[in-house]
């Protein structure tokens, strides 16, 4: 290659093609579907809590996308049904995640709805699960001699409780828990919901072949 | 259903376009319809009569002496870029090491929000990706482009402005992330307000390269130039489209996220690394690249296939099936460009193994080039649905990411730094033995790091697929492997410190080589 202009034009055209296929076309398809029927927008407290979730980087250990039963036993673990694109219509930034150092949180509100459990776990995960490697978030809480009116006191087992006084949740912790409690997709998924059905298709194909083999025997 | 069919058609179309374009290219090369780069073109990086001799500070190539005026112009900005890159390398490595320790010692640093894992890890990624690798890559670009074009760098002032803006952007970006101000998307955490500074900085780097290309005194653009000149256009487009606020949300944002995040590797860091290796491997050895015509296939196939692999990060997720399949297919097609580059680079080294003993920079670059082949093969296999089910949400992916961004890109760029700095400054590294120590600390450290995460990741994935095992099992079994990662990461960081020591010490030594005159005499 001896000329720059054709190189530059072709290189940019290829990127434009990739953008069309990976961003624009799926964006139109997903946009045309809209939110899943039954999905509610976040409440103010949930939205604030979601901001805390994003700013603490929870995403880097927790996904929010249960897989289909054809691929993995996510549903058996109580992580909820396989999610579809419409379930995320109100999410910005999206927090789908790519890592499960910790469990998937798409339906955490269904699985662990207790505010008290969540607050204790955020203050010190090892107070609940000795094997946990999740960070503790003591800075989302305050140490007080006496709880004030309206303060939510965190229940802690002896080795983690302060010698005197109490631990109470700051607003950030309460909001974050409100967000986690709201994480439940109890409505039925739309029948035409968009998701990667590749594994289900492969499983169906294999089933067909097994059936055909049985029939021919 | 209509829309699904239309999109299925689009999927087929994309693949057919890519395949057709590649077939036409190969046909054109075979039938000499385009000018096929040949052995003469491959020699444009040498001056007549040069070659078959190792390019090291004691026995410099004629190029350095005959065209030292070219290097003298680029030396300033290149050294600034290198100094800043190494600063971010150390800064980023320490944050990476801290984040790694936090995963098996979770209460070590839980006192403040700034030190929590989710932020430490993110500061690590952004400082090494944008502070270290991008700037070290740009240093190589601004060093190599004038050399392969046989003309001095143009618009140097703009490069300097870009350097200042870029570093302000990276510094503000990591400070924002540490304090909880983030856009919340992987690889795109730096807030869009700060991204404006980074985008302006990136824009400042484009014009000088185009201007230098325009003034070139050789007809042929050497292969490194294709990669660099394309990457310098790809990156600003990617970066700006991905960071426009208010446009993206929900799952559409997720597909955009991985379109960006994989292209910032495939169309930015990879071309910087591959282009640098394409220049320095033959230049250091003193012999042109083997089978130069193949490089054309390697370049265009990379552009066609790599640009569409990103959605393999969402396999099994809430995105349309056709889109996932598209990225899986293109991921597998990545074998084509990777094999082409492997033929060019590995055969050139394999025929001149003696040179590895004599040149430390070549050792770094050769190890990096091997890692490129390994990382790409691994990536293609990892994208297969059956394999991905096991590895997708595990630390295996982190190991793979470091095989690409670290063992490949970073090692190539460290080699480039060791090669460039003595020529840009006219000084020797004061502690040459530390360079060998650096190499072995990085190689051994990385081996420990990679094996830990690869084995641990597979076990983690298998445990999570077994519904009879509680989730806790996948965490407990992972701990020793996370400790292994910290050990490996510690050795790697130590290697980087040796690089910094050598660079700083070099800054305090007096000039020992003369670069500014034509009648240079070897110092020893």
Task: Judge residue B482's burial from the number of C-beta atoms within 10 Å of its C-beta, 0-12 exposed, 13-18 middle, 19 or more buried.
Answer: buried
**Residues A54 and A140 occupy one common structural domain:** yes
In angstroms, the CA B323 to CA A194 distance is: 11
What residues contact residue B51 under an 8 Å CB cut-off, 6+ apart? Answer: B43, B286, B287, B288
Query: What is the tens place of the pLDDT at every residue in B471-492?
Result: 999 999 999 999 999 999 999 9
- Total domain count for chain A? 2
Whether residues A83 and A13 share a domain: the answer is: no
Nearest residue in A to B108, CA atom: A135
Answer whether residue A170 is part of any domain: yes
B522 pLDDT above the threshold of 50: no
- The first and second tokens of residue B348, run together, are 């050139």
- Per-residue burial over A141-166, b = 16 or more CB atoms within 10 Å of its CB, e = otherwise: bbeeeeeeeeebebebeeebeeeeeb
Which residue among A4, A58, A94 sits closest to B251, beta carbon to beta carbon?
A94
Question: Does B248 contact chain A (CB < 8 Å)?
Answer: yes
CB spacing of B259 vs A29 below 8 angstroms:
no
Q: Can you give the three-state secondary structure of B237-294, one letter per residue? A: HHHHHHHCCCCCCHHHHHHHHHHHHHHHHHHHHHHHHHHHHHHHHHHHHCCCCCCCCH
Q: Is the domain of A24 the same as that of A53?
A: no
Q: What percent of chain B has pLDDT over 90?
A: 80
Does B117 sit within 8 Å of A29, measured CB to CB? no
The pLDDT assigned to B8 comes to 66
Structural domain span for residue A10: 1-33
Q: How confident is the model at residue B37 (pLDDT cuts 50, 70, 90)?
A: confident
Mean pLDDT, range B302-316, rounded to an integer: 96
Same domain, A16 and A85: no
For the stretch B241-268, pLDDT in tens is 999 999 999 999 999 999 999 999 999 9
Answer yes or no: is A200 within a domain: no
Do the domain assignments include residue A102? Answer: yes
Contact B495, B442 (CB under 8 A): yes
Residue A68 to residue A75: CA distance in whole angstroms = 8
> From the CA of B58, how many Å to the nearest CA of chain A?
34
Q: Using CB atoms and an 8 Å cut-off, which of residues 386-415 of chain B contact chain A?
A: 389, 392-395, 397-398
Residues A103 and A23 in one domain: no
CB-CB under 8 Å, B35 with A2: yes
Which range of B33-47, B251-265, B508-522 scores highest in mean pLDDT? It is: B251-265
Q: Which residue of B has its CA nearest to A77?
A: B467
A171/A82 same-domain check: yes
**Cα dihedral value B416, B418, B424, B429, nearest 10:** 180
pLDDT at B29: 72
Residue B310's pLDDT band (cuts 50, 70, 90): very high
Q: Pairing mode, if any, of strands A166-169 and A141-144? A: antiparallel
Give the tokens for residue B360: 């430390």
Least confident of A186-195, B180-189, B505-514: B505-514
Burial class (CB in 10 A: 0-12, 13-18, 19+), B31: exposed
* Token pair 């402005």: residue: B161
CB atoms within 10 A of CB A85: 27
Q: Which residues numbered 126-155 in B keep a CB inside 8 Å of some CB on A? A: none
Query: Does pLDDT of B515 surpass 60?
Result: no
CB-nearest partner of A196 from B113, B238, B319: B319
For residue range B54-100, list pLDDT tens digits in order.
776 666 565 665 676 899 999 999 999 999 999 999 999 999 999 99
- Of B63-72, B338-347, B365-374, the range with the lowest mean pLDDT is B63-72
**Tokens 């909820």 — which residue?**
A80
- Is A135 found in the same domain as A52? yes
For chain B, list the domains and their CATH numbers: 53-220 (1.20.210.10)
Which one of A3, A23, A79, A137 makes the best mutation probe of the B interface by having the most chain B beta carbons within 10 Å? A23
User: Taking the CA of residue A81 as centre, how many other CA atoms within 13 Å lie in the half-sphere pointing to its CB?
Assistant: 13
Statement to judge: residues A127 and A159 lie in one domain:
yes
Please tell me whether residues A102 and A124 are part of one structural domain: yes
Percent of chain B with pLDDT over 70: 91
Residue A171 exposure: Cα atoms within 13 Å on the Cβ side: 5
For each successive 10 residues of chain A (217 residues), what is the average pLDDT? Answer: 87 95 94 93 98 98 97 95 96 97 97 97 97 98 95 95 96 98 91 92 90 86
Rounded-to-integer distance, Cα B435 and Cα B429, Å: 9
In a domain, A85, yes or no: yes
Ramachandran bin of B276, using left for φ above 0, alpha for ψ from -120 to 50, beta for the remaining angles = alpha
Residue A211 lies in a domain: no
Please report where in the chains the tokens 């001095």 appear, as a residue: B152
Which token pair is B486? 């910290």
Q: What is the CATH number of the domain that holds A145?
A: 1.10.760.10
Query: Which residues face B83 on adjacent strands?
Result: none
For B449, the token pair is: 């790091």
**Beta-carbon separation of A22 and B323 below 8 A:** yes
Residues of chain A with C-beta less than 8 angstroms from the C-beta of B297: none
Query: Can you give the pTM of this predicted structure?
Result: 0.94
In terms of domains, do A121 and A141 share one?
Answer: yes
Query: B-chain residues within 8 Å CB-CB of A101?
Result: 103, 395, 475, 478
Cα separation of A138 and A173, whole Å? Answer: 10
Does the beta-carbon distance from A12 to B234 stay under 8 Å? yes
Confidence (pLDDT) at B18: 79
Same domain, A54 and A3: no
B324 neighbors A197 (Cβ within 8 angstroms): no
| Predicted ipTM of the assembly | 0.95
Q: Going by C-beta distance under 8 Å and a sequence separation of 6 or more, which residues neighbour residue B28?
A: B34
User: B518 φ, ψ to 5°?
Assistant: -80, -30
Residues A8 and A70 in one domain: no
């Amino acid at each position: 290659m001896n000329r720059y202009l054709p190189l530059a034009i072709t290189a940019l055209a290829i990127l434009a093609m990739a953008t069309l296929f990976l961003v624009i076309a799926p964006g139109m398809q997903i946009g045309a579907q809209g939110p899943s029927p039954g999905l509610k927008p976040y409440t103010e407290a949930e939205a604030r809590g979601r901001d805390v979730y994003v700013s603490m980087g929870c995403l880097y250990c927790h996904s929010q996308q249960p897989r289909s039963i054809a691929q993995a036993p996510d549903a058996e673990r109580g992580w909820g049904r396989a999610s579809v694109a419409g379930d995320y219509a109100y999410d910005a930034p999206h927090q789908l995640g790519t890592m499960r150092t910790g469990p998937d949180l798409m339906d955490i509100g269904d699985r662990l709805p207790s505010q008290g459990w969540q607050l204790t776990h955020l203050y010190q995960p090892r107070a609940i699960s000795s094997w946990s490697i999740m960070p503790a978030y003591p800075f989302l809480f305050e140490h007080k001699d006496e709880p004030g009116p309206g303060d939510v006191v965190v229940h802690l087992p002896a080795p983690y409780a302060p010698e005197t006084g109490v631990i109470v949740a700051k607003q950030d912790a309460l909001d974050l828990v409100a967000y986690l409690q709201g994480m439940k997709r109890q409505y039925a998924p739309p029948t035409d919901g968009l998701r990667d059905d590749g594994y289900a298709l492969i499983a169906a194909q294999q089933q067909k072949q097994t059936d055909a083999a049985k029939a021919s025997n | 259903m209509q829309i699904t069919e239309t999109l299925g058609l689009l999927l087929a179309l994309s693949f057919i376009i890519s395949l057709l374009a590649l077939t036409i290219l190969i046909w054109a090369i075979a039938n000499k319809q385009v000018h096929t780069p040949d052995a003469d073109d491959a020699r444009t990086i040498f001056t007549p009569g040069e070659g078959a001799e190792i390019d090291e500070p004691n026995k410099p190539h004629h190029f350095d002496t005959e065209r030292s005026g070219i290097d003298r112009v680029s030396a300033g900005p290149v050294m600034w870029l290198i100094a800043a890159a190494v600063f971010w390398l150390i800064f980023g490595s320490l944050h990476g090491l801290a984040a790694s320790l936090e995963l098996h010692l979770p209460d070590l640093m839980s006192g403040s929000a700034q030190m929590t894992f989710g932020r430490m890890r993110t500061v690590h990624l952004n400082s090494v990706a944008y502070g270290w690798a991008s700037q070290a890559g740009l240093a190589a670009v601004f060093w190599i482009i004038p050399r392969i074009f046989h003309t001095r760098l143009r618009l140097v002032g703009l490069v300097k402005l870009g350097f200042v803006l870029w570093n302000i952007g990276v510094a503000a970006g990591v400070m924002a992330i540490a304090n909880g101000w983030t856009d919340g998307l992987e690889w795109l955490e730096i807030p869009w307000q700060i991204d404006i500074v980074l985008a302006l900085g990136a824009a400042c780097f484009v014009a000088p390269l185009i201007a230098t290309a325009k003034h070139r005194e050789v007809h042929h653009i050497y292969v490194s130039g294709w990669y660099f000149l394309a990457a310098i256009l790809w990156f600003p487009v990617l970066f700006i489209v991905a960071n426009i606020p208010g446009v993206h949300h929900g799952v559409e944002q997720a597909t955009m996220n991985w379109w960006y995040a994989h292209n910032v590797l495939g169309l930015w860091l990879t071309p910087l690394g591959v282009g640098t290796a394409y220049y320095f491997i033959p230049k250091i050895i003193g012999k042109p690249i083997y089978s130069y015509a193949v490089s054309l296939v390697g370049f265009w196939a990379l552009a066609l296939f790599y640009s569409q692999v990103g959605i393999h990060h969402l396999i099994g997720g809430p995105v349309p099936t056709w889109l996932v399949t598209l990225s899986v297919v293109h991921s597998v097609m990545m074998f084509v460009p990777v094999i082409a580059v492997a033929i060019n680079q590995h055969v050139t080294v394999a025929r001149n193994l003696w040179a590895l003993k004599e040149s430390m920079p070549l050792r770094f670059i050769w190890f990096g080039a091997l890692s490129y082949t390994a990382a790409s093969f691994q990536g293609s296999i990892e994208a297969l649905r059956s394999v991905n089910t096991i590895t997708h949400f595990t630390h295996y992916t982190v190991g793979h990411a470091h095989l690409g961004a670290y063992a490949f890109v970073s090692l190539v760029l460290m080699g480039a730094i060791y090669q460039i700095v003595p020529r840009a400054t006219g000084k020797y590294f004061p502690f040459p033995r530390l360079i060998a120590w650096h190499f072995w600390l990085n190689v051994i450290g990385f081996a420990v790091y990679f094996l830990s995460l690869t084995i641990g990741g597979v076990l983690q994935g298998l445990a999570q697929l077994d519904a009879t095992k509680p989730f806790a099992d996948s965490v407990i079994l992972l701990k020793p492997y996370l400790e292994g990662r910290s050990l490996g990461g510690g050795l790697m960081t130590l290697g980087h410190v040796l690089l910094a020591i050598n660079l700083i010490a070099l800054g305090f030594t007096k000039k020992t080589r003369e670069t500014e005159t034509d009648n240079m005499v070897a110092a020893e």
